[in-house]
Structure 1
Amino acid sequence: MTSQTISAQEQGYYTPEEYLELERNAEFRSEYDDGKITPMTGGTTNYNRLSLNCALALSLGLKGQDYSVFMADVKLWLPKSRKFRYPDVMVVAGQVEYYNDRKTTITNPQVIIEVLSDSTEDFDRNGKFTLYQSIPTFQEYILIDQNQIAINQFFKTGHKRWTIDQYDKQDSELVLKSFALKIAISAERNSVGTADLYEKIDFANNA
């Protein structure tokens, strides 16, 4: 899909099905906002590594259990706001529910994880969190900083009630609350010998 095509799309209105067909053959990813299509920006190597490290730790830690881990190219449909988003990592408990039987788009994540980028940090912290709260199955939201060891973990305790835990370089493990799983945070305080979340993250040259 060329930049000229994207420009034409942004001037018109597209149904969810039209967006999904365009996205299926697109050269790069775009998001959908109730009829409008917006190209997504690229990520840094730190961003990519953190997403991969997190998805790998979840996949290994939940192996053999009734959970599914998705990342990168799997979309999330938000029916109340009529939006499609690409969360960095999602975990589904039990059977995966798809939008109109399309295997590229899910509707029922329990855990959503976003790696913060400089350009979208404010929206990830506030705007996306508000959007995601419209999902009935959504219980846990984790924000991972790519410029320093810093993690915010939100967990649903009741209707419109969330707790927040914060992790930094003083902490050795990220403790998931939706299921029994701990992920080592950094090599400096990793006492269990497994791969850590911030493995190979270069804070000095984040590119």
Structure 2
Amino acid sequence: MSTAPIRRLTPEEYLAAERASDRKHEFYRGEMFAMAGASRKHVAVTGNFFAWLHYQLRDEPCTVFTSDMRVEVERTGLYTYHDISVTCEQPEFGDGHFDTLLNPQMIVEVLSPSTETYDRGKKFDHYRQVASLKEYVLVSLDQPMIERYTRVDEDRWTLDVAKGFEATVELSVTSEPLPLAEVYRRVDFSADE
């Protein structure tokens, strides 16, 4: 008994299907992968971080994107979604549309239980192939903690960790340090969501 080979999509077919879909999908090596929805805590933390960044960068030549902006990792062929991205350069978009960013400077991922291993591992492996990326920020949902990876050169990254409501984290795109109390404003860590 033989099985029919799996039909692989081209990036163009993926983008056409994704633009017509009401759900988000990652794309890698010809396959589409549905993305899960976010918890209330995840949405709150992402919204707080985005609002703070947007306010801080309001007079700067930077653009802050939400999770609706797709990122293409040209070197590996991954199309994915992040929680927040920033570019302080002229945004570059793929294929003549304005929904696939090619040159993020900073990417923020809020760590959900179902995606934490991927965000720390394979997804970060892909993101490191984006030449414009200078920092990768991981935001915990278990405790007030932010991990910031900063590019030293093409193959080396440094890690800074900020913990606790009184802590702050320096970001390359802002002149003011980010207070963790702002990111975790009104977040209930005792709630299991």
TM-score interval (norm. to shorter): over 0.9
Q: Does the CA-based 8 Å contact 1:75-1:84 persist in structure 2?
A: yes
The answer for the alignment partner of 1:203 in structure 2 is 189
The answer for the alignment partner of 2:137 in structure 1 is 142
Deviation readout 1:45-92 (Å, 9 max, x if unpaired): 111111111111111001111110001111001111111000110001
Deviation readout 1:133-184 (Å, 9 max, x if unpaired): 1111000010000121111111112231211110111643221134423222
Q: Does the residue aligned with 1:31 lie in a helix, a strand or coil?
A: strand
Q: Does the CA-based 8 Å contact 1:45-1:206 persist in structure 2?
A: no
The answer for the alignment partner of 2:9 in structure 1 is 14
In 1: Cα distance, 2:47 partner to 2:192 partner: 16
Aligned residue pair count: 188
* Structure 1, gaps ≥5 residues long: 1-10, 187-195
Q: Which has the higher contact order (CA 8 A, sep 6+)?
A: 2
Percent same amino acid among aligned pairs? 28
The answer for the alignment partner of 1:73 in structure 2 is 68
Letter in 1 for 2:27: Y
Shift of 1:185: 0.9
Structure 1 stretches of at least 4 aligned residues deviating more than 4 Å after TM superposition: none
Q: Does the residue aligned with 2:152 lie in a helix, a strand or coil?
A: strand
Q: Does the CA-based 8 Å contact 1:139-1:178 persist in structure 2?
A: no
The answer for the alignment partner of 2:38 in structure 1 is 43
Give the alignment's TM-score, normalised by structure 1. Answer: 0.86
Letter in 2 for 1:197: V
Of residues 66, 69, 93, the one that matches 1:98 is 93
Give the alignment's TM-score, normalised by structure 2. Answer: 0.92
In 1: Cα distance, 2:140 partner to 2:22 partner: 28
Pairwise CA RMSD of aligned residues? 1.3
More strand by share: 1
Q: Does the CA-based 8 Å contact 2:145-2:180 persist in structure 1?
A: no
Moved more, 162-171 or 127-136: 162-171
Alignment of 1:37-186 (within 5 A): 37-169=32-164, 171-186=166-181
Of residues 19, 24, 27, the one that matches 1:24 is 19
Q: Does the CA-based 8 Å contact 1:147-1:206 persist in structure 2?
A: no
